[in-house]
Amino acid sequence: MGRKVEVVNAARARGSRSASQVGGALVQTLVVLVVLAVAGYELIAIGVTSFAVDDASRQVARAARDAYRSSDGSLDATSEAAATAAETHRSQVTDISIDGEDLTVTLTRRATTLLVHQLAATEELGVREATGRAALDTR
């Protein structure tokens, strides 16, 4: 009878180690999935922001062009209109230029990320910039 108990106890010990190993593997899998989910979120947030700021730059350039036309070429009115339009797109105007034929507006926007903006080494990855143009002579 003593030998049978030892065999049963040995089998149980092996079973509990297997359960422990399964639990450890499950925790490792969950950690990997969480890391992949956060990385995926960060990449998607930066990508969406890139598209959004690109679209916003064109819209802001058109709004600035319209202000330029309606104010008979006032750069103050143009800058103010660009800043107001950029604000509605959660962006900042970093440059406005007029080259005679086109009005060009450059915008920046920070992506809504979980970690990228927190780390100094990766902070700039979350800042997206785009330039939009609007023809001055088109009515």
pLDDT at 5 over 80: no
pLDDT tens profile 27-75 = 999 999 999 999 999 999 999 999 999 999 999 999 999 999 999 888 9
Half-sphere exposure of 62 (CA within 13 A, CB side): 7
pLDDT tens profile 85-98 = 999 999 999 999 99
Asked whether the beta carbons of 77 and 71 are under 8 A apart, the reply is yes
Residue 96: the pLDDT is 95
CA distance 107 to 61: 10
pLDDT at 8 over 70: no
Q: Beta-carbon neighbour count of residue 138 at 10 Å?
A: 9
Residue 16: the pLDDT is 56
pLDDT at 2 over 60: no
Asked whether the beta carbons of 76 and 13 are under 8 A apart, the reply is no
More confident residue, 130 or 19: 130
Alpha-carbon distances, residue 90 vs 49, 56, 58, 96, 112 (angstroms): 10, 9, 14, 17, 11
Q: Return the amino acid letter for 18.
A: S
Query: Which pTM does this prediction carry?
Result: 0.75
Q: What is the residue-averaged pLDDT of the chain?
A: 87
- Three-class DSSP category at 59: helix
With tokens 């916003």, the residue in question is 56
With tokens 């950690």, the residue in question is 31
